[in-house]
Structure 1
Amino acid sequence: MYKVMLVDDDYPVLEFLSETIPWNEYGLELQGCYENGAIALEQAEKAMPDILITDIGMPRMNGLELIAKLKEQKASLRVAILSCHNEFHYAQQAVKLNVQDYVLKDTLDPKDLEKLLQQFKASLDQDERVQTHQHQLQHIVDRNKELLKEKFIRRTLQQPIMDAGDWLAEAKSFQLSLEGMECLPILGLIDEYRTAKQRFVSDDILRFAVDNIIGEVSSRDGSPAVHFAYGTKESFFLFPYLPSLKINPYDAAVERMKQIQAALNKYLKISMSFIIGERCRNPEEIKGTLNGLLASGLQRFYMDEGSIVKKQSLKHGDIDLFSWYDQASTELRELMLEKQTGPIVSTVRHWMAFLKEHSFEPEKVKDWVLKLLLDLKLKLQSLQYFRSTYAVDVLHKEILEIDSLFELEHWLVEHLQSVIALAGEIGERGKRTEVVEACHYVSLHLDKRISLEEVADHLFLNSSYFSRLFKKETGETFIEYVTRMKMNRAKELLDQTNHPVGKICEMLGYDNQSYFIKIFKASVGVTPLEYRGQKTSL
């Protein structure tokens, strides 16, 4: 609705008009009635009206002064003068102030004023349509300009620079003037891009929002840094500076990036990190540095959220990440079985710190985490009272899209906590509580000898009754279940560690290695050494 302000020192006139005219029917809102121009001006500074109907002769500030001051703030303001003055010089002043109508109180008919208000609304609607169309056209122009800038930076990265002069001229068309200047290339990265994209529904909307905020910051402060979008999650900034200046260009660039960070966080709740490249003196050096920034995957993966850092050459860890797999898998399995959501955070944080300390290759880290989750999925399913609710392809896709270790940490914590919550609900709705507790007990004591009597005592049940109950609920005897769980664990240890068979035998609570080998072969079809040999040859 358009807001209307009535101003007149004649209170009966204000009361008559406010109550006689059906404002809402015309799509209008009566913002207020004021007895002089000074009070009206104070209120207008809080909320500017779209339509002003005012008297001329009033104390403190007359109507003509009020119109002049409001027109300075809002040139599109529609104004009608409502006055008992019919002198020619008043009409002349009204024309100069671009007043749309001049109505005499002596001949006032509310119907005439209603027609005038309808005309005002129609003209305001038309202005709004024109402005919307202009904004759409401007958006198309801006969007095309951003696409041209992106094509320019992609050509720079992917094709030879045949003529440095032509390159500099094209850069200048994008407000990047490098004559007599050096340049710092900077790579900007949207932190937790997956989450940001979900909030903004699509890549296009997210990109438009980010480009718009960066553009506003640059235009407001006259930034020398020119922004080039590179897809949605990545951006380049080329920061020109005079090499003779005594100021440190890195410090100036950091301050500019902090301003962009603050604006993105304030208006979009988005965090962006930056990697600053080396100083460049010509287009070829700029090209080389930009490509180097794009290739800095290891540094990018281990950066903290909201970082602004210089490019570094990091070396990935030289120890075998998968030699630590069994320890991580065991810790997570125990937390899942005990349904402890609290310690999940500290456990995941511990392993993330370990990964960062050794700077393992990002792809290897993702493979490691994916294997942990897939093995955990199988373990939960093998306990029968758990039912996994997440698909392998979904896990794989989500992990591949993660760009940094801190994002992986947040994602992994949320994922494991949700699995524990769902598993607990499903377990409670599934088998008898006694059977659930028995399976739980077995999983936590695979390193010991486990007897039916021991577990029955733990559950305060008669051993014969417990044996029949377990068989009825699971379809296998308790001893068969224990053996199956131990053999599954034996295969994990054979797959994931270099422990000798004798050591694995001890780790599973068997005193006799020959007996263990016999049980393993009966369950798996081959001996432990043959099983390990088959896996090694694959």
Structure 2
Amino acid sequence: MYNVMLIDDDVPMLKYLHKLIDWEACGLHVAGETYSSVRALQMFKELLPDIVVTDIGLPQMNGLELAAQFSSIKPGVRIIFLTCHEDFHYAKQALLLNADDYLIKDELTEDQLLRSLKQSVGRIQQSVVSLEQVSYREDVNRNRDLLKESLFQRLIKGTEADGLLGYAERLGVEWKHPAYALLLGHLSLAGLPEKYASRDMPLLRYGVYNIACEVAQTYEGVTVFNTGDFLVILLNYRPGLTFNEKQYLHDYTADLRDKCDRFLHVGLRFWSSPARLELSSAGPTFRSMAKNRYRFYYADSGYAAPKFDDGSEVYYLPAEGLFGQELEDIGAAAAHRDHALLEEAIERIRRTACGKLADPEELNRLCVRKVRQLFIQQARPGADAEEDEWIPYLQTAMHVDDALAVFGWMIQRLMIGTDTGAAPAVKEPKLQVIDDYIYRHLGENVSSIDVAEHLFMNPSYFSRYFKRLTGESFTDYAHRYKVKIACKALQMSEDPVELIAAKLGYSDRTYFSKVFKKYTGRTPREYRER
């Protein structure tokens, strides 16, 4: 049932309109009627009708002026104008106001009024459908990452092609060709510890994913997924003599690498599936490539998209015993602060490992063991905190250059601390535990009580302890911590402020903006624009 409002300074005309049709039978309800334009404006604000039938020639404020006011109050309102005579000037203005019809009172019939009202109802319904579609698109855009994650899970689980294609299409992803190619990529660790803290890694990966999605908009058929460990690039293409999918992916990854280097100062490594896959084989191929991630541990560092061949066997030599002299030299380099000897020994490890194909996982473990041994020998204050930063990434490094780069950086850091006679500035161990707790619960509203329980401390004592330790309350500290992450997210991504706020545990955008401005002096929008 749609509400209608009737306006005419001729009272008999109002009665005529009321009796001309059976309003209720047409799904319409006359919610109000008046002969005064001033009263009409007040009544409109109270009733907010869906359709207004109004005379144009009203005193004080004519129908055209009144309609403009109505549209500013309720943009979706439908207007039908009445007038006593044909007037092109009025009709033209009525069209400019997007009126549904312009009817001559002297010629008005039941059929004419019904036709005009039916037209208005149809436009209201069309508007509702359009709004629903816009709302659906907004929901999709707002939750695109989660929906794409769901699509990826369906892909790797082997959902039937028809269901998978339909789900993808609802997200705006069109896979309309028979052939697919798969690329897996990951962040290169070489050079990262010098620029970023380990806690920045999730945000960096997300930044790379956003850039990859942006670049993909100019490459038809490319869909990007983010699994955390891997950047997954799926190309859907039509095989043909004129299309070279290898070159196409090479161009895409070259653009992606260039932008990631320019904006984030990070490198990427890739490896590829067999050139042609069917949709049903994309999931199993991904699982196999992820499981055998170390197959490309010794791949060329250039445009390294070596083809993954699941049928071939790769035999590695045990790493134990291959690097005895090199590890002794590294120990001597650390003890004597000999940076040249350290670099030379690490280079020998790299040449031997590549030449003999030392087992990747064992080589990573040897590096971790040596780092821990040296930190223990040096009895460095805060050494445990330093180890915790990058050792997990050293343990799981997927390329020899990455593993040895992090390994060398950690020992260099140890040596620099020894050179100066003091450890590099590190946070008090318990404060680092607190930081880690906040980071693991970014999407929650963490309180001092939560952290006190985590540390097995009395909440009141913890509050006093934290104030002495940092000079501020835990609430201020947690807000400041999250705002720093929000700043990076605003720089690295185009995510809506609402999404960034939600990921950081702020359900109310207004409150998040208030907190953000308190610690940065600007609103999130102002920060992003500058």
TM-score, scaled relative to structure 2: 0.47
TM-score, scaled relative to structure 1: 0.46
Larger Rg: 1
* Higher RCO structure (Cα 8 Å, ≥6 apart): 2
